[in-house]
Structure 1
Amino acid sequence: MPQVLLVDDDPRFVKVVASLLSRRNLQVKSVSSGELARQALRNGDIDLALLDLNLPDIDGLSLIHELREEGNDTPVILLTARSKPHEQVLGLRLGGDDYITKPFDPELLLARIHAVLRRSGTGRTTDRGRSDLVDLSPALAGRSPVLVDLAARQVFRDGVAVRLAPMEYAVLEFLVRNRGRAVSKEEIMVQVWGTDRGVSRTLTEHISRLRRKLGEGLVVTRTGYGYIIPTAPEGPAARAQ
């Protein structure tokens, strides 16, 4: 599991971002100062850093320049409210791998993180038996096989990539990680959307889309409990909406 260092002195921001990343299978360590970030990055166990430029003890640009001068090549995504082009260019020239301005869309941040991790080769392997590849075919009883690559956040049906909207994938991933367990609608909403308001209409629509794209037998409704991706095929009655 990739480890992300979140460097920011705003506790509310840290709480929100850490929760988001944790739900997407990223291990998060947070620090609130440049000195603590310097120590964490020198330990060598960080796969990527999210670095705020406005730190209480040191400017983030100075920190990244210092680290690169030392030969530390840990990927860094710069986070800041500074939006002037010359500041972005300077951050990249000093050694930043990407730059994202606050406020930002959560899905954009996740996409940037995964893109940087892919470029750096973190956690990648050619072993198709690795644990982040999940074969859901046993639940489909001979229907078109479905494979989920949790590292690349890709889904394949019968060998063909299936395009899922970000929140469709988020729902699927949560069900995959809880495979064999019936999870309530409220639990899915809290984990994926961060709220359980508007449960029925929002979640039901996403489940319907997943069934259309991946096969009717994959996500099963357990009346009185919620939804489940079973480890073996279930009868038509269990799959009723």
Structure 2
Amino acid sequence: MKPRLLIVEDDPNLGEILSEYLGLKGYETTLMRDGEEGGRAFKKAEFDLCILDLMMPKKDGFTLAKEIRATDDDTPIIFLTAKSMKQDIIKGFTIGADDYMTKPFSMEELLLRIQAILKRSIKKEEPFPNPFTIAGLVYYYQENRLITPKREINLTTKENELLKIFFENVNKTVERSSALKKIWKDDSYFNARSMDVYIAKIRKYLSDEPSLKILTIHGEGFKLVEVN
């Protein structure tokens, strides 16, 4: 898959040049014109890296980056700015930026910085075991199938994806927002309610195996635990 880049730049000429150039270099780009549009785009899809202009209408790059970091600590952020003031650079890194480029800049240098950041941040995913066994359960992710001590269950797509996340993170908290963005591509209120319904169904499936429980971690998300 092509790495996905979110570009938020209010200068239409620079935005188009960035999007076209990076597209030709093998990236899938989404271009937004202001901070509000950028925030909505980030909530709807997953990106491997964000390129944010600092001075934008409606919502500046600092504010957008703070909102991104409130729910996502991992997606790299590069700031673009016409400023070179030390306090702005410090503020950007304090918020959680990974890099900072002052306009005008070289497209080739930006490309090299993107490549370096992604090389550090994108981890190769290990193939999920098929089947995956835990306690008295046998789980076939590729077939959307769960076998418990009492029955065999054909899972819906969302049940299957949720169960995979829980099995990948046994005894670890699965953040609500992270799961919503990964499966529903949006952490809206209505999608959150939908996820709660699916988790209730998964809890019923796991009730066939008493040693496994899904706990609700208030204010954070959920945790699948093994009970001795």
TM-score normalised by L of structure 2: 0.52
Tell me if structure 1 keeps the 8 A contact 2:49–2:76: yes
Which residue is 1:29 aligned to?
30
The alignment-based identity, stated in percent, is 37
Q: By how many angstroms is 1:121 displaced?
A: 1.4
Tell me if structure 2 keeps the 8 A contact 1:42–1:72: no
Which residue is 2:115 aligned to?
114
Tell me if structure 2 keeps the 8 A contact 1:41–1:74: no
**In the TM superposition, what are the counterparts of 1:17-166 in structure 2 within 5 Å?**
17-121=18-122, 124=124
Residues 2 and 71 from structure 1, CA distance in 2 versus in 1: closer, same or farther, beyond 3 angstroms? closer
Residues 67 and 126 from structure 1, CA distance in 2 versus in 1: closer, same or farther, beyond 3 angstroms? closer
Residues 72 and 33 from structure 1, CA distance in 2 versus in 1: closer, same or farther, beyond 3 angstroms? farther
Which residue is 1:130 aligned to?
none
Tell me if structure 2 keeps the 8 A contact 1:6–1:49: yes
TM-score normalised by L of structure 1: 0.49
Q: By how many angstroms is 1:72 displaced?
A: 4.9
Aligned length: 126
Q: What CA deviation, in whole Å up to 9, does each residue of 1:96-139 have, x standing for no partner? A: 111111100111000111111111116x5799xxxxxxxxxxxx
Tell me if structure 2 keeps the 8 A contact 1:40–1:46: no
Q: By how many angstroms is 1:70 displaced?
A: 2.6
Q: Which runs of 4+ in 1 moved over 6 A?
A: none
Partners of 1:41 and 1:83 in 2: CA distance = 27
- SS where residue 79 of structure 2 aligns? strand
Structure 1 residue identity aligned to 2:32: V
Which residue is 1:237 aligned to?
none
Shifted more, 64-73 versus 30-39: the winner is 64-73
Tell me if structure 2 keeps the 8 A contact 1:77–1:100: yes
RMSD: 1.9
Tell me if structure 1 keeps the 8 A contact 2:48–2:122: no
Which residue is 1:184 aligned to?
none
Tell me if structure 1 keeps the 8 A contact 2:7–2:52: yes
Structure with more of its chain in strand, by fraction: 2
Q: What CA deviation, in whole Å up to 9, does each residue of 1:175-214 have, x standing for no partner? A: xxxxxxxxxxxxxxxxxxxxxxxxxxxxxxxxxxxxxxxx
Q: By how many angstroms is 1:43 displaced?
A: 2.5
Which residue is 1:225 aligned to?
none
Which residue is 1:206 aligned to?
none
Which residue is 1:182 aligned to?
none
What stretches of structure 2 of length at least 5 have no aligned partner? 128-228
